[in-house]
């Protein structure tokens, strides 16, 4: 079928033939295609083989590709991430799956001190073409240790690329671009998106992972976000449209590098900016975006940049408290109403 997208809701490439699958299936299909296309690509991580992955992303891949290319690892993030770096240095194209992003902290020395620095410290002689996939975000009642969003931490580090595909199409199409990059790329997949159904092109093409995308056009305010928060923002924008407030919604997609041009151009048009991030406000990605807007578009603003972020507490276990600690649709809508009315 040909997908007919609303002019204001651009979640898929308009005007192309598409089919439906889940975010989980899109990631699996992307990995399968990569492994079929390039024998250097392999997947490694905890429970990715016999178990099919903690989130069932790699289900069936062990049977298709065998244990040499779908490799279960010991419970040692530092060990198998380091092995992935070594494989990349020796000409392979590893996909390292770290079960959830909190476990990536156990591999941070390998990621930050090795993967991100080897090209620089070797005088440009050695690239590390490594892709690290990990699940991020709260909302699953997994309590403090398994519910945080660390993508902003890694976006701080030169030598890494950090991307956060929100849509099914991006989950399907950004992986191949990441694998072609000669340097390490971290992909943060919000685990609450794995069951999301969406449209992808029948003939998917690689996507520029450095570019943000406008998901909804509007003239009253620019809302800048990424990951699962995109859908809360779009829901809020639909509610606000019924009230006569038209929001322009920017999906960053990439947190390092940031596509300044796309969101700055939007802010210059709307004269207002709201940044939505599940992560904490202090020293986070929202602070960086706010600073860049102030540096590059200060005189175009009708009011200060505002932010809706996670409450600065360890994520609670209790459902009602967890929901209260994360940005919700009404929080976003209330912030927009306040900003537009103030203007």
Catalytic hit among 46, 77, 169, 322: 77
Active site residue 63: no
Q: Facing residues of 189 across strands?
A: 135
Active site residue 146: yes
Backbone φ and ψ of 155, nearest 5°: -65, -15
**What is the C-alpha to C-alpha distance for residues 150 and 280, in angstroms, rounded to an integer?**
10
Catalytic hit among 29, 33, 146, 156: 146
Q: Among 252, 251, 237, which Cα is nearest to 336's?
A: 237
**What is the C-alpha to C-alpha distance for residues 233 and 111, in angstroms, rounded to an integer?**
31
Tallying the residues shown for the chain, one arrives at: 343
Active-site residue numbers? Answer: 77, 146
């Amino acid at each position: 079928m040909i997908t007919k997208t609303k002019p204001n809701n651009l979640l898929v490439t308009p005007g192309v033939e598409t089919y439906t699958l889940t975010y989980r299936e899109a990631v699996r299909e992307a990995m399968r295609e990569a492994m079929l296309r390039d024998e250097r690509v392999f997947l490694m991580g905890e429970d990715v083989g016999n178990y099919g992955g903690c989130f069932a992303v790699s289900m069936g891949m062990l049977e298709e590709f065998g244990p040499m290319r779908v490799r279960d690892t010991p419970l040692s993030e530092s060990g198998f991430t380091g092995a992935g770096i070594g494989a990349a240095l020796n000409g392979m194209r590893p996909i390292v799956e770290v079960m959830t992003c909190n476990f990536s902290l156990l591999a941070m020395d390998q990621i930050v001190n090795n993967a991100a620095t080897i090209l620089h410290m070797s005088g440009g002689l050695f690239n590390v073409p490594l892709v690290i996939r990990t699940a991020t975000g709260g909302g699953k009642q997994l309590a403090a240790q398994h519910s945080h969003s660390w993508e902003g931490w890694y976006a701080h580090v030169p030598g890494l690329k950090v991307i956060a595909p929100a849509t099914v199409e991006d989950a399907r199409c950004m992986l191949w671009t990441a694998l072609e990059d000669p340097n390490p790329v971290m992909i943060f997949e919000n685990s609450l998106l794995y069951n999301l159904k969406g449209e992808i092109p029948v003939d998917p093409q690689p996507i520029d992972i450095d570019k943000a995308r406008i998901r909804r056009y509007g003239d009253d305010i620019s809302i800048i976000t990424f990951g699962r928060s995109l859908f809360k923002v779009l829901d809020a924008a639909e509610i606000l449209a019924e009230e006569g407030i038209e929001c322009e919604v920017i999906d960053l997609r990439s947190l390092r590098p940031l596509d300044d041009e796309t969101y700055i151009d939007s802010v210059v048009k709307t004269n207002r900016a709201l940044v939505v991030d599940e992560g904490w406000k202090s020293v986070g990605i929202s602070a960086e975006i706010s600073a860049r807007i102030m540096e590059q578009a200060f005189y175009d603003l009708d009011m200060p940049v505002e932010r809706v972020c996670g409450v600065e507490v360890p994520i609670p276990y209790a459902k009602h408290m967890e929901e209260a600690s994360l940005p919700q649709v009404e929080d976003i809508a209330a912030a927009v109403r306040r900003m537009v009315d103030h203007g």
